Structure 1
Amino acid sequence: MNRRSLGLLLATVTAATLTVGTAPAATAVPTADAHLGTRASDPFYRYDGSRPLSSYEPGDVLKKRTLNYHLVGIPTPVKAIQLLYRTTDAQGRPSANVTTVVRGVGSDGSKAVSYQSFYDSLDPEDGPSRAIAGDVSLGGLIANAEAIVMAPLLLKGYDLVIPDTEGQTAEFAAGPAYGTNTLDSIRASTRAEGTGLHSDTEFGLLGYSGGAIATNWAAALAPAYAPEVNRRLVGFAEAGLLVAPAHNLRYVDGALMWNGVLPMAVIGVARAYDIDIKPYLSEKGLKVYNELEYGSIVDALGRYPGMTWKDMVKPEYKDPNSIPAFVEAVNKVNLGQAATPTVPGFIGQGNAGRLEGTFNNPPGIGTGDGVMVAGDVRTLARQYCATGNDSIKYEQYNLLSHFGAMPYWTPRAMDWLDDRFAGKPAPTSCGSIPVGNSLAPEKPTTAN
């Protein structure tokens, strides 16, 4: 990529960001194929080979195409390579997913950033690869706006790898699948011809909010799931992190804006683990389920002010832990129960949730940035320090909310990654991180 092309990209993304409120929006309309991510209009997303998908290794490339990078449907001169690759879903089954590779200015293929988007959606159509390919949807506007974050990395010469972290079934909040999708995206990017990436390319992981879920799970799973990738990771940078989803559901319960993520997370995790949640839902819960089944975070924010878990379920399930399938699922996606990353990490977390309409301070959970729980993130960072990784830098932003923390944290994260690629010693906060919450597994209770 040259600077002129990137300049045009920056001009387009600036215009796109200014017109986000008026850009054409495609409403998420579920079809028989939508949940499977098999779009009749774009066969690229379907694996239709003669060999069983299980016969491929994770990260093997199944299809490849080169296209112009689009912003809100407008093509730019920047070229992007998209790959359909074999990966592993939340239940350990073979699956196919898509990632995008964009070359940095003057890149020599030696360093790349895997950027995990915070597109946060239950609709496969909202994934970053589809936005880059020219599709326009309401939820996909987030992936378009993120180009403003990615452009500075390209200017620095980093190649970018941008996975559809939620997979082709849009399993929102199902962290382990986010992690495998991310790691196999890196594998695929170095195996495909023409990407400029190779087996010696060093990678940094970067993500905020939903992107932080993918970033942390990838870092945690890498030593066992993708050791050859782990050896080439210089570090992971993340902020606004979901750690123990059961805590977050209690934290946002009844909030003015962020409580819409409650049903989204329940739907996404239930989808990932084949759980039928509908029998537990009240009439209102079923209505919300149907409204958000293929919705995005854009559909959910501020839509149900004051709604609580009790509003969504039948009276006998007012305690979510009275649903055994719920307990089993949230324990699977609790980062506190996952392995410790072996590479340096920079973790940021806001803690002024009142600014975004979340006033809760539940016992044992405390406060957060409006949607993510600060005490959970502190404990996770302390846990990493205590289990062998003393290269963890933690920052808590007590005056910043979820939206506010990102513009403050992002340039700091980029500088931190620059230093890791430069081989500088990683700073540490180990020994000075305040105590947080217990991340012990949830325990089932008896319905009453």
Structure 2
Amino acid sequence: MRTLLWRSAAALFATLTLLLIAGPPAEGQPTTPAADPDAFYWPPPDLAAHPNGAVLRTRPVDVSRYGNADGWQILFRSTNSAGAPIAATTTLMVPRGGVDRPLVSYQAIINSLGTQCGPSHTLFTGQFQEAPALGPILARGWALAVPDHLGPTSAYGAARLGGQIVLDGIRAAKQLPEMRLVRSPVGLVGYSGGGMATGWAAALAPTYAPDLPIVGVAQGGVPTNLNEMATGLGFAPHPLFGLAFAATLGLEREYPSRFVVEPFLTPAGAALRDQIVNACSQQIIDDGAGHSTAEVTRDAGAVLTAPLRAVFDDNSLVASPLAPRAPVFAWHGAGDQLAPLDSTTTTLRRWCASGTRVLLNVLPGDHGPAAIEGIPGAFGYLGDRFAGVPAPSNC
């Protein structure tokens, strides 16, 4: 978690500044990941006929490495940013015995472009970097859902999409009697990119999924203002440049009618894109290390424009009028250089003004250390909400 995101902001948004320019170009198509060879993930022909959260198929999985729990994977219907139906996946772990246990949806950090990099795969290959957080959740007797919140095209960077997938995954988990969660209260938790999906799920829930009994939200290190992060950042070579470039490609996948990257790539940029188009995080970091925006783009003079800022705003909680109904615990590093604290406090103040009970815990240090230090408080906060303790607030 420390390695994946906490120093990549400048490279990420400098790249987006140059690549996501005004209007869709006349040529080029978004790159998409290779189709998953596992037919479980394939959408059924009648996908559009199902409502959001409808269960499309399920299968049992062995989750014994995480605790004494039964496991399933669920393919369910959700909706992308253009309103089109998609098939998404969540992995469910339910401690054996008991009915209507609290259900926690855990949004992982997924910095990848290949569909094989989602939790429904990495949970079982030893590559799930946040695995140490899952055992304590199950040990509390809580059920656990871990969604592939980047969706079927691994649209890295599309946070609002992630929120919708989170909510529909919870709906799907609560529908199946054998999972014993029909009346379970729900909590949400996630950090950084996982925190973006968590925050968007919380903000969308009152309108997108008012049926869900979400009793508490714990989000940490959330980048809430993408435009702020983009403005004024430099374009020098960066060791985590690959993550920046990958996020550009991920947003292109989710917004293909608003921009396409291909016409603005140099040969070196096209080569790097082809190297990482199906890659997981470590390969993306390795292949992109030391590269720069000037190397991969043809137009170093491009500037932030209205269409680009609109894409950023579409995925920035600070720009959204939505607010959670469920109480929120937010933790954040005081010196966070990836996700500035000021934008988070601006977002949380607006939520407070809308009536949301918010508890903000500001920790010393930067983005990476806060990821680890805030987890005990997050789990404690959710435990109190599940127990019916009134939510504290420091609005």
Q: Same fold (TM over 0.5)?
A: yes
What stretches of structure 1 of length at least 5 have no aligned partner?
1-33, 353-367, 431-448
Distance 2:274 2:340 in 1: 28
Distance 1:375 1:313 in 2: 31
Shift, 1:65, TM fit: 0.7
- Superposition RMSD on alpha carbons, in Å? 2.5
Q: For 1:137-176, list aligned pairs within 5 A.
A: 141=127, 143=128, 145-176=129-160
State the match for 2:245 in structure 1: 263
| Same amino acid, percent of matched pairs | 28
The residue type equivalent to 1:124 in the other structure is T
Q: For 1:283-432, list aligned pairs within 5 A.
A: 283-301=267-285, 304=288, 308-315=292-299, 317-319=301-303, 321-322=304-305, 325-338=307-320, 339-352=322-335, 368-369=336-337, 371-389=338-356, 391-399=357-365, 401-430=366-395
Count of aligned pairs: 361
Task: Give the structure-2-normalised TM-score.
Answer: 0.84
SS in 2 for 1:69: coil
Moved more, 300-309 or 188-197: 300-309
Distance 1:378 1:284 in 2: 40
Taking a change above 3 Å as real, the CA distance of residues 61 and 235 of structure 1, as seen in their structure-2 partners, is same
2:221 pairs with 1:240: yes
State the match for 1:4 in structure 2: none
SS in 1 for 2:374: helix
Shift, 1:422, TM fit: 1.3
Distance 1:403 1:302 in 2: 19
Distance 2:283 2:155 in 1: 16
The residue type equivalent to 1:101 in the other structure is L
Taking a change above 3 Å as real, the CA distance of residues 309 and 385 of structure 1, as seen in their structure-2 partners, is farther
Distance 1:214 1:44 in 2: 24
State the match for 2:88 in structure 1: 97
SS in 2 for 1:148: helix
The superposition leaves residues 338-384 of structure 1 with CA deviations (integer Å, 9 ceiling, x where unpaired) of: 211111111111244xxxxxxxxxxxxxxx34x32322212211221
The residue type equivalent to 1:271 in the other structure is R
The residue type equivalent to 1:337 in the other structure is A
If asked which structure has higher relative contact order (CA below 8 Å, sep 6+), I would say: 2
Q: For 1:126-205, list aligned pairs within 5 A.
A: 126-132=117-123, 134=124, 136=125, 141=127, 143=128, 145-198=129-182, 200-205=183-188
Structure 1 outlier segments of 4+, above 6 Å: none
From 43, 52, 59, the counterpart of 2:39: 43
Shift, 1:150, TM fit: 1.1
